[in-house]
C-alpha cells in the first residue's frame, strides 16, 4: 500500500481510488512507447517531437498510476507523483514538470519555446519512466 498516494485520495482530493485496469494500463504503455519512438525522429519539427515526448511521458506516468489503482483529478499532478509511483527521483520529475509548464504556456498562451536540449532531456526522462514500468 502506498500511503503517500492514499493520503491524496478521496472525495474532493487530487486522486481517486479506482481498481487497476490491466487493459487500460497496457494501452497507455503502448501509446507512450509509440509516441516516444516517434519523438526520436529528427525529420520532424522540434515542436512536434516535444509534443510527442510530452504526451508519451504523460501516458507512461498515467499507466504507472493506474497500475497502482489511482486516477488523477487534475493534470498538474502528473509528474510530481513519480517518486511515489515508480520511485524516480527529482532528476526525472523536474524535467517532466518543466516540460509540463512549457506545454501549458503553449496551450494557453500560444507560445512554445523548446530547444533540442529540452527535447533530448524529455526523451531521456521518458526512457527512465518506461524502464521503471517494464
For residue 10, what pLDDT is reported? 84
Instruction: Report if residue 11 sits inside a domain.
Output: no
Average pLDDT over residues 98-111: 88
Q: Does any domain span residue 2?
A: no
Domain CATH for 125 = 1.20.120.330
Q: Is residue 8 part of a domain?
A: no
Domain assignment present for 61: yes
**Which of 133, 128, 123, 131 shows the shortest CA–CA distance to 55?**
123
Mean pLDDT of the chain: 89
Count structural domains, the chain.
1
User: Each residue of 55-80: pLDDT tens digit?
Assistant: 999 999 899 889 989 988 877 676 77
**Is residue 115 domain-resident?**
yes
110 or 27, which is more confident? 27
Query: Domain range for residue 110?
Result: 21-133
Q: Residue 78: what pLDDT?
A: 64
Q: Quick check: is 66 in a domain? A: yes
pLDDT at 1 over 60: no
In a domain, residue 62? The reply is: yes
Average pLDDT estimate for 92-98? 86
Q: 115 or 88, which is more confident?
A: 115
Q: Which of 37, 22, 42 has the alpha carbon at shortest distance from 126?
A: 37
Residue 26 has pLDDT above 70, yes or no: yes
Quick one: what percent of the chain has pLDDT higher than 70? 97
116-133 vs 46-67: helix crossing angle, rounded to 10: 20
- In a domain? residue 116: yes
Amino acid at each position: 500500500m502506498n500511503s503517500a498516494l492514499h493520503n491524496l485520495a478521496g472525495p474532493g482530493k487530487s486522486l481517486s481510488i479506482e481498481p487497476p485496469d490491466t487493459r487500460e494500463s497496457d494501452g497507455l504503455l503502448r501509446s507512450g512507447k509509440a509516441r516516444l519512438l516517434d519523438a526520436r525522429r529528427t525529420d520532424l519539427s522540434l515542436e512536434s517531437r516535444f509534443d510527442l515526448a510530452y504526451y508519451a511521458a504523460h501516458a507512461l506516468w498515467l499507466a504507472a498510476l493506474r497500475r497502482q489503482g489511482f486516477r488523477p483529478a487534475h493534470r498538474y499532478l502528473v509528474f510530481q507523483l513519480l517518486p511515489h509511483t515508480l520511485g524516480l527521483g527529482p532528476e526525472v520529475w523536474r524535467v517532466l514538470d518543466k516540460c509540463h509548464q512549457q506545454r501549458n504556456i503553449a496551450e494557453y498562451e500560444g507560445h512554445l519555446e523548446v530547444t533540442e536540449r529540452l527535447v533530448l532531456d524529455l526523451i531521456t526522462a521518458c526512457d527512465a519512466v518506461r524502464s521503471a514500468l517494464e
